[in-house]
Amino acid sequence: MGSKANASGRAEADARENQDQSAEAAWASLQWEPLHQERRPRLQRHARWLVAALALAALALIAFYVAAEFRPVPRPAVIASITQGSLEVQLGSDGPVIPAREGQAIFQGARLRSAPDTVALLQLPDQSQVRIESAGEWTLRRLESSPNGEITRIVIGQNIGRASLVPSPVRARLSARFQVEVPRAVIELMGVAHVETSAQATTQVRILQGSAAITAARQRVVMTAGQSASCVPGQPPTLVLEAPRPTAVP
């Protein structure tokens, strides 16, 4: 009897010990364990790559926005008025020639031909103006402005004729360029000018306000208000000296 009682006691003790071990194992499985030391560097590297990828994506979006806002794109000019005479428009180098009308939009590459005694006004996309004042021929070689108005590129070709050119009074804050291309010379205009090109391809330039720079035959001449210059094909531009005003004799 004694041996049976001892065996039964040991069995019960073993059973309780097994239950205690099972409970401890279950509790241990529910407890938080820190990440394994070998996994931490990998997670940190992944986090750094994610932050870098997000930063690059943000920079790409900013660069795309800036490029879109500051990139000059073609924009139309408008024939504001035809006071007298007549004006024709050729839409492109091979396009049809049609009579121009007030309020008509004309685009980069268009050519204008005016009859004698014509007076017409063109409004350019940056609010600059070209006033045609005679028979002649002009080409709208470049009419570009950025969406935010910060950058403008205007190039007018004058083959023959007389015109007054008025750059925009509200100039772009970053970069504005207004050029007049005449036979064998380029006029970069920073003010109001009167430009006349003859049938012999000689051009006379008079600056009424502001300044201008004329480049011809690899030479550049800067002009200011009140000065005049002459451009002959193949020769450097020359300033035209005005005759001195007579003075009263005491």
Residue 184 in domain: yes
Q: What is the 3-state secondary structure (H, E, C) of 66-85?
A: HHHHHCCEECCEEEEEEEEC
CA count, 13 A, side-chain hemisphere, 33:
7
- Is residue 102 located within the same domain as residue 48? no
pLDDT at 29: 56
At residue 148, the pLDDT reads: 83
Q: Say if residue 137 is in the same domain as residue 179.
A: yes
Which letter does DSSP use for residue 34 in this model?
P
Same domain assignment for residues 7 and 45: no
Q: Are residues 128 and 48 in the same domain?
A: no
Task: For residue 91, give the 3-state DSSP assignment.
Answer: coil
**Same domain? 102 vs 142:** yes
Question: Which tokens is 217 given?
Answer: 């035959």
Q: What angle do CA 151, 153, 159 make, to 5 degrees?
A: 165
183 and 92 within one domain:
yes
* Residue 250 placed within a domain: no
Residues 151 and 226 in one domain: yes
Please tell me whether residues 184 and 146 are part of one structural domain: yes
Among 70, 97, 118, give the residue marking a domain's end: 70
Phi, psi angles (nearest 5°) of residue 216: -155, 145
Question: Is 245 a domain residue?
Answer: no
Whether residue 26 is contained in a domain is answered as yes
Number of structural domains, the chain? 3
Q: Is residue 247 part of a domain?
A: no
Q: Are residues 46 and 103 in the same domain?
A: no
Are 41 and 28 in a shared domain? no
Full-model pTM: 0.71
Task: Give the helix, strand, coil percentages of the chain, each rounded to 5.
Answer: 25, 40, 35
Return the sign of the alpha-carbon dihedral for residues 54, 55, 59, 60.
negative
CA angle 138, 188, 200 (to 5 degrees): 45
Sign of CA dihedral 209, 228, 161, 84: positive
- Domain identity same for 145 and 42: no
Instruction: Write down the pLDDT at residue 48.
Output: 76
Domain with 54 in it: 34-70
Task: Please list the pLDDT of the chain residue by residue as tens digits (250 residues).
Answer: 555 555 565 666 666 666 666 656 655 555 555 555 555 666 666 777 777 777 777 776 666 555 556 688 999 999 999 999 999 999 877 889 999 999 999 999 999 999 999 999 999 998 999 999 999 999 999 999 988 878 899 999 999 999 999 998 765 467 889 999 999 999 999 999 999 999 999 999 999 999 999 999 999 999 999 999 999 999 999 998 754 445 454 4
Domain-ending residue, one of 70, 96, 129: 70
**Same domain for 101 and 186?**
yes
